[in-house]
Each structure stands twice: as C-alpha cells, then as structure tokens.
Amino acid sequence: MRGLAVQRRRTGTIAVVSALGMTAVLGGCGLGGESGDVTLRLVAADYGDSKANSSQKYWDKLVADYESAHPGVKVDVSVYSWNDVDRKVKEMVADGDAPDMAQIGAYADYAHDDLLYSADELLSIPTQADFVSQLATAGEVDSTQYGMPFASSTRLLFYNKTLFSKAGLTPPTTWDELAEDAAALKAAGVKYPYALPLGSEEAQAETMQWLLSGGGGYTEDTGTYGINSPANIETLTWLKDDLVGKGLTGPVAPGKLNRADAFAAFANGQVGMLNGHPTLMKTAAAKGVKFGMVPMPGVDGPTKYSMGVADWMTAFKQNGHAEQIGDFLDFVYDEKNVLAFSREYDLLPVTMSASDAMSTAKQDQDLKPFLTELTGSELYPVGKVSWAEVSAAVKQRIGKAVTAGGSPSAILNGLQSTALMAESAE
C-alpha cells in the first residue's frame, strides 16, 4: 500500500512526459466497465523489426499482468511504427483527444504547452529516484521532470576484427590513429574504411558523437546553443580534410549515406569502422562478422563523453486519471519489466536497479561496455522545444560541411542562427 507521502504527490494538477507513450481515455470514467472503472489509453512506439517481436507483444503481456492485479483499471495499448507514432500523438492532441500516456521521441513541446503531468505528480518516490540520473535530468524543463525515460542507448566505435587483423591494425584511441587505420584499410581494398553516415536519416547522431569527441557539442555548459563553437568548427574541419578529403569514408558521400545503410554495409563485411549502438551487435553477429567495440577516439585519447539517446514516456493531463497513470507507470518501471524490455530489444535500462542487474548478469555481458558508456554520456538537448527544428536542420545541412567545397564554419554558423531563432520563438 502506498504511503501518505506518495499519495500526496498524486493530488492536484499533473503534467508528465514519458518514454512509454500511453493513450488517453475518452471521457472521465466508467468506460466499458463497472461504475468507477477506468480505462487508460497508451500509445507506444514499435521497437521490433517484424511481427514476431513487435512491441505489441511486450505490452500485451505487461498489461495482462497488471490488469490481473488491478481489476478496476484497463489499459488499452496502440502500437505504431517510429515513422508514425509521433505524428499520431500530435494529431490526437490537436483533435482534443490526447492519450493518457504516450511513449514517443520528444516531450518538450507538450510540456511547454502545459499539457503534461510532471513526474513527481505521478510516480512514487522510489520509482522516480531509480531513473539513471542523466536521463532524468534530460527529461527536465525548467528543473521539472516531464519526460520519463523509457529506453536508452549510447554509441561505441565498432571495428571489423577480421579486416583489422589482415591489415595488422589495433583499434584506434585518437583521431590520428583512426585516420591512420582508415588509410591502411583503404590500401587493403576495404570499401568503407570509416563509414560516416551524415545522411538525412540520423545525421544529428553521428554529428553529435564527433562534436563530443572534439570537446564540443550542440550546447554550452550553460545549456545555451553553441553549435558554431571553435571546437565544433575544428572537429568538422578535421573530418573534411583528414577523412573525407582523403577518400577514407567510402564511395558514398557522407551526406548521402544513411545510418541504416552504413549498418548494413558493416554487417556485410564492407566497413572497417563506424559508430554503432547495441542493436548492431545482433545484426553483425547474424552475418558472421567478427567485431570489437571501443570508446570513440578523441583528439588525444578516448572521448570523455559519449552520445546517449533516450525515448520518452509522457502523461497527458486532459483526462485526469493521475492516480491510475502513476500506479501503472510504477509497474512499468519495475525492475523485472525494464529488464524484459531492454533484453528483448538490445537497449539499455533507464533505471539504476535494472542497470545494476544487467551489469552483473552473464547473459548481458555484451551490453556491459554500453552500460559503462551511458554513465558518461550526454544527450540531445531534448528539453528545448527548438531542438526538433534544429535537429531537422542538422540532418539537411551537415553533410555539406565536409564536402570538397564545403565550409564547416559557414554551415555551423547557419545552424547556430537557426537554433537561436527557433529558441526565441518558443
């Protein structure tokens, strides 16, 4: 039974953003059941790559377990692909039919419009305190957490052990070593010595990993945008001159190479090195590729910070149901449920309890390097409403910065102007 302290946190107005999107219930109470029954609607993203491992299966089992112990609450889950889920939720909100919960890719715009419950209005104190600290912080707007992390990941430098062995190479720890290894791989006939996906699919991720490795990033320590910082200009200039300009990134221009294509090429044995997340392990292993993973090289050694990413659970205020939403989310974030989801989809847990369990479990040893990196990761500035526009601009323009006639400083100055204009419009 919940203590009084927890109950008090669940009274009053609520505004929460989460990574497990749950759809809102129509009306106030008694939908399809006895008087007093509540139906919560959850909209969630699909992390599966086939019908066999669709996220719908995960949610169906979790909901069945929850409902069996909570006869007065029903949870109706709708799962959409990542191509559709954010748009679906936006349409529901615009139509005045917000879901109770939505597990989606962003939360800041809804929080800005005062549509969400805050995490401390919903969750028990132990649940909220269990979030990995940097993920919880990334879910904040004006020091209040609206985005609840649901799934997380980070990046490591993957390298093809077979290709490295044939060329007599060891994994790089610095940029210069990476360039030297790439040159040796090129001389050995490797198609993509270093795959640099700066295409429109996910250029913002590859860009951020490189900016961090050069001591920069999208924002300054104060949280303000610093896209055109001297460190960032130096990083892109090095990429342009020392990798792309020397033909070390393969036959496809970085601005035309998407992450999915780069991963597929790695799994086909055509890539010497690239930045990858945990799901690449399974894809590469299935194709028989022997690979290793090391921290991203930096200017003088391994990078201090890696890029972390998270998807978010949000909870909308429109239909009320704060008490029921909070109770259900406490169940969602129980250690066994977080572990089950993370293991099913090769993602990193968003809670400390599940992370600790995974770090010591024999079955999860392949993920341990990513868990280590997550503790020193930096996430996109997702608490800014402007980030969506900035991210889209990066995808469209950043590839041009490393072309033969490109200007890293001009591209980054333009992106900084876009960011500042977008932020001033919030």
Q: Which helix (H) or strand (E) holds 291?
A: strand 291-294
Helices marked H in 139-202:
161-166, 175-187
DSSP one-letter code for 116: B
292, 361 contact by CB (below 8 A): no
pLDDT for the residue 36: 54
In angstroms, rounded to a whole number, what is the distance separating the alpha carbons of residues 53 and 65? 19
In angstroms, rounded to a whole number, what is the distance separating the alpha carbons of residues 62 and 322? 20
* Cα four-point dihedral sign 10, 12, 15, 20: positive
Q: How many residues does the chain have?
A: 426
Angle, helices 55-69 vs 322-332, to 10°: value is 120
Nearest CA among 325, 237, 409, 275 for reference residue 16: 325
pTM of the model: 0.85
Residue 275 φ/ψ region, left for φ over 0, alpha for ψ in the -120 to 50 degree band, beta for the rest: beta
Through-space distance between the first and last CA atoms of the chain, rounded to whole angstroms: 42
Three-state DSSP state, 8: helix
> In this structure, which amino acid lies at residue 303?
T
For residue 251, the tally of other CB atoms under 10 A from its CB is 9
Which tokens sit at 417? 């102007």
Cα angle 356-106-199, degrees, rounded to a multiple of 5: 95
Query: Tens of pLDDT along the chain (426 residues)?
Result: 333 333 324 333 333 333 333 333 333 333 333 435 899 999 999 998 788 889 999 999 999 999 999 999 999 999 999 989 999 999 999 999 999 999 999 999 999 999 999 999 999 999 999 999 999 999 999 999 999 999 999 999 999 999 999 999 999 999 999 999 999 999 999 999 999 999 999 999 999 999 999 999 999 988 899 999 999 999 999 999 999 999 999 999 999 999 999 999 999 999 999 999 999 998 999 999 999 999 999 999 999 888 999 999 999 999 999 999 999 999 999 999 999 999 999 999 999 999 999 999 999 999 999 999 998 899 999 999 999 999 999 999 999 999 999 999 999 999 999 999 999 887
pLDDT for the residue 89: 96
What number of CA atoms fall less than 13 Å from residue 267's CA on the CB side? Answer: 16
pLDDT for the residue 11: 34
pLDDT for the residue 260: 92
Which tokens sit at 400? 């041009």
Rounded to 10 degrees, what is the CA torsion of 227, 229, 232, 236? 90
Q: In sequence order, what are the residues at sequence separation of 6 or more whose Cβ sits closer than 8 angstroms to the Cβ of residue 237?
A: 408, 409
Q: Which residues pair with 140 in a beta bridge?
A: 145
281, 300 contact by CB (below 8 A): no
Nearest CA among 201, 237, 232, 202 for reference residue 413: 232
pLDDT for the residue 231: 97
> What's the CATH superfamily of 156-295+386-424?
Periplasmic binding protein-like II (3.40.190.10)
pLDDT for the residue 225: 97
Q: Do domains 4-152+310-379 and 156-295+386-424 have the same CATH topology?
A: yes
> In this structure, which amino acid lies at residue 63?
V
> In this structure, which amino acid lies at residue 398?
I
In angstroms, rounded to a whole number, what is the distance separating the alpha carbons of residues 160 and 290? 6
Domain residue spans in the chain?
Answer: 4-152+310-379, 156-295+386-424
Q: Which residue has the tokens 């500035």?
A: 381
pLDDT digits (tens, 9 = 90+) for 194-238: 999 999 999 999 999 999 999 999 999 888 999 999 999 999 999
DSSP one-letter code for 348: B
Helices marked H in 195-291:
203-213, 230-238, 259-267, 279-286
Which CATH number is associated with domain 4-152+310-379? 3.40.190.10
- How many H-runs (helices) and E-runs (strands) does the chain carry? 19, 13
Give exposure, 199-219, as e/b (b: 16+ Cβ within 10 Å). Answer: bbbbbbbbbbbbbbbbbbbbb
pLDDT for the residue 52: 85
pLDDT for the residue 304: 86
